[in-house]
Structure 1
Amino acid sequence: MSKKILICDDSGIARKQLARVLPSEWDAEVEFATNGQEALSHIQSKAVDILFLDLNMPVMDGYQTLEALKDIANAPQVIVVSGDVQARAVERVKALGALDFLKKPVDKSVLQSIIQSFGLLSSGSNAGLVVQGNAADDFGLSQCLQEVSNVAMGRAASVLADMLNVFIKLPVPKVNILEVSELQMALSYGAMNSGRCSAVTQGFVGAGIAMEALLIFSDSSFPDMAKLLNVTEEIDNNLAIELQMDISSVLIGPFIKALGDQLNIDFSHSHPVVLGQHMKVADLINVKRAQWKRTLAVEIVYEVDNYQISCDLMLLFTEDSLPVLENLLSYLVEDD
């Protein structure tokens, strides 16, 4: 009997990537949803055997969707597909009833092994795999960069989570082309919209791409950062800088490594530098206003569950990098 499959992910790139690595001989029909709420509506109106579910989505995320499925009769079997590879994320989704967990980008052989192990792979239809509708209508630089940033974000969070034995709450990355004044506004309305902040900056170059990583910490984060790192001394400026450098090395380094792996680039980097301490966001931006003009910005807000720790990671690409990035990311939307 033909399987009814639903792929739920807010990223059109991710939906397309997953659809094209499903076994072509699978006797199955594939449809799509863009968030958990849409997936639940679909499941309540149509039979669905298997749900491939992302975790980090707007409207209703994967965790909320798994909780809601408990109250639905004949709910589908769920395989989570996510860039959030924290050990606690994997444990949490399995505790909520997911069969298994696949990390993005999905490896075709790993996927096939999992669906075979659970007895989900059926064949026999002359048509094989049938994909209903489109995974997405169009793809641009922003959508592609958002998806690779989502994967890189998850890898970086996993390193920090393992180091501190915590769970990192992850957002959907934001990608926009901004003027410097708009960059200030974006940060001002983000996680750093009140109080004072401190920041570390580091430059990266490779294969015609130049970018700056800017990691901004809310000053209110420092007491809990010290607690997690088992630091008991009074937090003065020197200790605050040490804490910033420790956290930034874990968040920035693995993020850039994961980004480079997906683009097949080994980025060279400058030494990290403290951009400013205990300043308002506007004053931090003014420090480098002359260098930052029009930029492609990726913004990720990391928060540590049950702690008052929040930091805003901004990747600021030079305008000259855009054509190179677009070319390198085109593999995400190429048809096999």
Structure 2
Amino acid sequence: MSTRVLICDDSKIARKQLARALPTDWAVSVEFAEHGQEALDMLASTTFDILFLDLNMPVKDGYETLEALQGYADAPAVIVVSGDVQPQAIQRVKSMGAVAFHKKPASTEELRQLLISLKLFTEGGSDNPNNQLANTLTAAEQFTLNECLQEVSNVAMGRAASVLANMLNVFVKLPVPKVNILEVGELQMALDYSIKEDSCSAVSQGFVGSGVAFETLLIFSDSSLPDMAKLLSVFETIDSVVEVELLMDVSSVLVGPFIDAFGKQLNIDFSHSHPVLLARHAKVADLVNAKKAKWKRTLAVEIVYEVENYQISCDLMLLFTEDSVSVLENLLSYLVEEE
């Protein structure tokens, strides 16, 4: 009898990668859900032995799904597989009933050993592994640039948040990264939606490597500054000098680890310029106007970081040059094929 497995992740790439990482000598049947609510609907009508669950998803995220599963009499063993590697995230999911946590991207051997340690899989336990998994994965799948870039950004986002969480002893709430090709006007609308304050401050930095060039733009709501100072143990008066130091310190913590994890997935070692304070106490429209001649039309990745229990919110954007798009498509398609 085969083990029934449900993989729940909003990313098609992550679902495929995780399915490929399952032991090939395992008698297993695999089904997929795109978000927590779909997984719960499937579990209400079908019994599954194991649920592999992502955390950052639309509709119903992993935490909400775990909470809902506490009312299920026949709940499966839940293994959380996520790019959010904050210690608090791992502790939370285990306290909510998950039997284990595994970081993205899933490693075939590490996942195998985890399943063995949990007694969910036994080596040599089946002479006739179910071939449904192989059939599922041989089906041709096309992944868009946006889907690939979103999943790579998701993993990098989790690494950056973990560094910030460890440094400040906080929990960083993570969104699903947004990836779009935007005109200047659309970029302003996106920022207006994310930055709801009247004024903001921004730090920019340029990166280039292997034909990929982009600028990071880290935008802080001005109301975040007092709590940022508190977390960084800055008790002096926040004058213009202290303010700039705060912005630069938080920028280096968020941008550096993100780009490091982003580059490792693409096998690129990015060179970078010095970070520059682009604006202080400016309106989003002024911020966009200052750069609109350069940006015009850009491939943009947007991530909104929020710190739990603090009034801290910042918007990290990666703005790629038009020439980088075709290079990224080649790099990311190769990455998907390797998985």
Residues 261-307 of structure 1: CA deviation (Å, up to 9, x unaligned): 00000000000000000011110111111111111000000000000
Residues 57-86 of structure 1: CA deviation (Å, up to 9, x unaligned): 000000111111110011000000000000
Contact conserved, 1:29 with 1:130, CA < 8 A, in 2? yes
The two structures, once aligned, show a CA RMSD in angstroms of 1.4
- Name the % identity: 68
Alignment of 1:158-307 (within 5 A): 158-190=162-194, 192-307=195-310
After TM superposition, the structure 1 stretch with the greater mean CA deviation from structure 2, 192-201 or 6-15, is 192-201
Deviation at 1:331, TM superposition (A): 2.8
2:322 alignment partner, SS class: coil
> CA 1:98–1:277 in 2, change beyond 3 Å: closer, same or farther?
same
Corresponding residue for residue 141 of structure 1: 145
Using the size of structure 2 for normalisation, the TM-score is 0.96
- The answer to whether 1:20 aligns with 2:24 is no
After TM superposition, the structure 1 stretch with the greater mean CA deviation from structure 2, 75-84 or 226-235, is 226-235
Q: In 1, Cα distance between the equivalents of 2:31 and 2:338?
A: 18
Q: In 2, Cα distance between the equivalents of 1:133 and 1:205?
A: 38
Q: In 2, Cα distance between the equivalents of 1:49 and 1:140?
A: 32
Q: Which amino acid aligns with 2:189?
A: M
Contact conserved, 2:2 with 2:130, CA < 8 A, in 1? no
Q: Which amino acid aligns with 1:124?
A: S
Q: Which amino acid aligns with 2:329?
A: E
Contact conserved, 1:25 with 1:129, CA < 8 A, in 2? no
Residues 9-33 of structure 1: CA deviation (Å, up to 9, x unaligned): 0000100000011111111100000
Contact conserved, 1:85 with 1:154, CA < 8 A, in 2? yes
Corresponding residue for residue 107 of structure 2: 107
1:333 alignment partner, SS class: helix
After TM superposition, the structure 1 stretch with the greater mean CA deviation from structure 2, 307-316 or 233-242, is 233-242
- The answer to whether 1:88 aligns with 2:88 is yes
Q: Which amino acid aligns with 1:153?
A: M
Runs of 5+ consecutive residues of structure 2 not aligned to the other structure? none
Contact conserved, 2:8 with 2:34, CA < 8 A, in 1? yes
Q: In 2, Cα distance between the equivalents of 1:327 and 1:103?
A: 25
Contact conserved, 2:299 with 2:320, CA < 8 A, in 1? yes
- The answer to whether 1:124 aligns with 2:117 is no
Q: Which amino acid aligns with 1:265?
A: I
Q: Which amino acid aligns with 2:235?
A: T
1:271 alignment partner, SS class: coil
1:334 alignment partner, SS class: helix
Using the size of structure 1 for normalisation, the TM-score is 0.97
Contact conserved, 2:197 with 2:222, CA < 8 A, in 1? no
Deviation at 1:335, TM superposition (A): 6.5
Q: In 1, Cα distance between the equivalents of 2:338 and 2:293?
A: 42
Residues 99-137 of structure 1: CA deviation (Å, up to 9, x unaligned): 111100111111000001111114325243523867995
Corresponding residue for residue 69 of structure 1: 69
Contact conserved, 2:26 with 2:129, CA < 8 A, in 1? no
> CA 1:253–1:335 in 2, change beyond 3 Å: closer, same or farther?
closer
Q: Which amino acid aligns with 1:13?
A: I
2:319 alignment partner, SS class: strand
Q: How many equivalent pairs are there?
A: 335
Q: In 2, Cα distance between the equivalents of 1:172 and 1:284?
A: 24
Residues 188-215 of structure 1: CA deviation (Å, up to 9, x unaligned): 111x123200000000000000000000
Residues 213-257 of structure 1: CA deviation (Å, up to 9, x unaligned): 000000000000000011111111111110000000000000000
Q: In 1, Cα distance between the equivalents of 2:235 and 2:63?
A: 35
Corresponding residue for residue 10 of structure 2: 10
After TM superposition, the structure 1 stretch with the greater mean CA deviation from structure 2, 241-250 or 119-128, is 119-128
Greater per-residue helix proportion:
2
